[in-house]
Amino acid sequence: MTVTALPANAAVLGAGTIGRSAGILLAAHGVRVTLVTRRAQAAAEAPQAIDRRLTELTGLGAFTATQADAARARIAARVGLPEGESFGLIFEAVGEQLDHKRAVLAAAEPSLAAGGVLATTTSSLPLAELAAALSVPERFAGWHFFHPADLMSLVEIVPGDRTDPAVLGRLRAWSEQLDRRPIVLRRDVPGFVANRLQYALLREAYALVESDVCALHDVDIAVTAGLGARWATLGPFATMDLAGLEVHAAVVAALFPLLSGAAEPPAELVALRANGAGGARAGLGLLGDYSPERVRELETRRDETLIALRGRG
């Protein structure tokens, strides 16, 4: 099989968490990365945020000091795309607003090099609607990374209605060269694969709590000590094969009719949002108050676990 080399350069549109971490990943694998922002302040702050993250990753053993220094040297942040430069990859990572994403992609398309790929990391917006303003939608596809992109192995590759199959092949090859584990969807569907699975579990989790079966923290224990630990190695279908399909079929028949089919947001979440809760980084989430130290502790635990799991599968 012919190996498709990573692009020599990439423009990452957006210097938020996903944009920076994807930029770090690309730079660590030899790609010259330009982080493109709308605001001068964001461009000025990006190098410090990247430096902090690379320092964290080095401390956790994900990178050597030499690798981190090389990654730093390959990333630059600026306001707007540079005139006259074309990119082998343009990777859009701005906020999840359709009109904004569509405008950013259309404005960036002329800077795409011949044979290059224009990609979005949207997790929820239809690819066909994002591609509507593009001149050559055949070069456009979804390349959905998960937070933190510099450590998470999974990448979803999603075709639009007119995406050239060669583009999907190129993104798969690039993903593998970045040491990611890609899945290529056959068609676009809201939420793609991983988020649909995640939110199906969350819907049932909320239903169990609301019906007073268990507490919120009990659900987290059931996943981290049970389902998550097992699925990190085998996945749900391999787990059912090992359990035996006779048992699996019997449980399906018994439980499927009883699982939540709720279509409205859970009352617990609605109430928290009405009270201004924004999650751990905002200081208040589903599980209560969070100090900055607690947030950092959880992020470090997450990163250490992701590093330990790398290479498994």
Mean pLDDT throughout 184-192?
Answer: 96
Tell me if 9-184 shares its fold with 195-309. Answer: no
Mean pLDDT throughout 187-203?
Answer: 96
Mean pLDDT throughout 126-146?
Answer: 96
Mean pLDDT throughout 108-123?
Answer: 96
Mean pLDDT throughout 245-255?
Answer: 96
Please identify, in words, the CATH class of the domain defined by 195-309: mainly alpha
pLDDT for res 1: 37
Distances (CA, A) of 10 to 6, 113, 177, 205: 10, 10, 15, 40
Cβ atoms of residues 285 and 279 within 8 Å: yes
Residue with tokens 């929820």: 124
* From the candidate CATH numbers 1.10.3720.10, 1.10.10.10, 3.40.50.720, 3.20.20.70, the one assigned to the domain spanning 9-184: 3.40.50.720
Determine the distance from the C-alpha atom of residue 285 to the mean position of all C-alpha atoms in its chain, rounded to a whole number.
21
Mean pLDDT throughout 3-9?
Answer: 87
Cβ atoms of residues 28 and 70 within 8 Å: yes
Mean pLDDT throughout 162-179?
Answer: 96
- Residue among 56, 62, 55 at smallest CA distance from 307: 62
Cβ atoms of residues 202 and 209 within 8 Å: no
- Residue among 143, 176, 144, 183 at smallest CA distance from 3: 176
**Domain assignments of the chain as residue spans, ordered by start:** 9-184, 195-309
pLDDT for res 312: 54
Residue 151, number of CB atoms within 10 A of its CB: 21
Q: Is the pLDDT of residue 279 over 60?
A: yes
Mean pLDDT throughout 271-289?
Answer: 95
* Interacting residues of 49 by C-beta distance below 8 A, sequence separation 6+: 15, 20
Rounded to 10 deg, the angle between the 40-59 and 65-73 helix axes is: 170
Mean pLDDT throughout 161-181?
Answer: 96
CA distance 224 to 205: 13
The secondary structure of 36-49 as a DSSP string is: EESSHHHHHHHHHH
pLDDT digits (tens, 9 = 90+) for 15-53: 999 999 999 999 999 999 999 999 999 999 999 999 999
Q: Residue 82, preceding bond cis, omega within 30 degrees? A: no
Mean pLDDT throughout 128-150?
Answer: 95
Average pLDDT of the residues of the chain? 95
Distances (CA, A) of 301 to 43, 158, 235: 29, 30, 22
pLDDT for res 293: 97
pLDDT for res 27: 97
pLDDT digits (tens, 9 = 90+) for 64-97: 999 999 999 999 999 999 999 999 999 999 999 9
pLDDT for res 124: 87
- Residue among 161, 156, 87, 153 at smallest CA distance from 130: 161
- What pTM was computed for the model? 0.93
Banded pLDDT at 2 (limits 50, 70, 90): very low
Cα angle: 90, vertex 96, 97; to 5 degrees? 100
User: Residue 192 — left, alpha, or beta (φ > 0 → left; ψ -120 to 50 → alpha)?
Assistant: left
